[in-house]
């Protein structure tokens, strides 16, 4: 099942992917899952840090062929 919205922020640099994610998170409903795609190395550490601080849920994080796939569930 793949019901999450993809936020494609590949080929942009810090803090582009994070800002893209936050823009879509603001529009999402509580319980929605978003998947961020990022080629920015730092996203692997920075995005989970923001998710933790903002009080959302990190569902999964993996890097496939140089692209971070980070799934986040909106918790509030």
List residues near another protein by CB under 8 A: 11-16, 18-19, 22-23, 26, 50, 53-54
d(CA 34, CA 40): 17
Shortest distance, CB of residue 1 to another protein, whole angstroms?
30
Residue 57 in contact with residue 75, Cβ under 8 Å?
Answer: yes
CA atoms within 13 A on the CB side of 67: 12
Shorter beta-carbon distance to another protein: residue 1 or 19: 19
Shorter beta-carbon distance to another protein: residue 2 or 26: 26
Shorter beta-carbon distance to another protein: residue 15 or 44: 15
Q: Is 14 annotated as catalytic?
A: yes
Catalytic residue among 6, 14, 19, 45: 14
What amino acid positions are annotated as catalytic residues? 14
């Amino acid at each position: 099942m793949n019901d999450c919205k993809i936020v494609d922020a590949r080929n942009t640099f810090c803090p582009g992917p994070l800002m893209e994610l936050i823009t879509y998170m603001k529009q999402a409903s509580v319980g929605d899952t978003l998947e961020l795609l990022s080629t920015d190395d730092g996203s692997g550490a920075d995005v989970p840090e923001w998710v933790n601080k903002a009080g959302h849920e990190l569902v999964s994080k993996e890097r496939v062929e140089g692209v971070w796939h980070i799934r986040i569930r909106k918790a509030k």
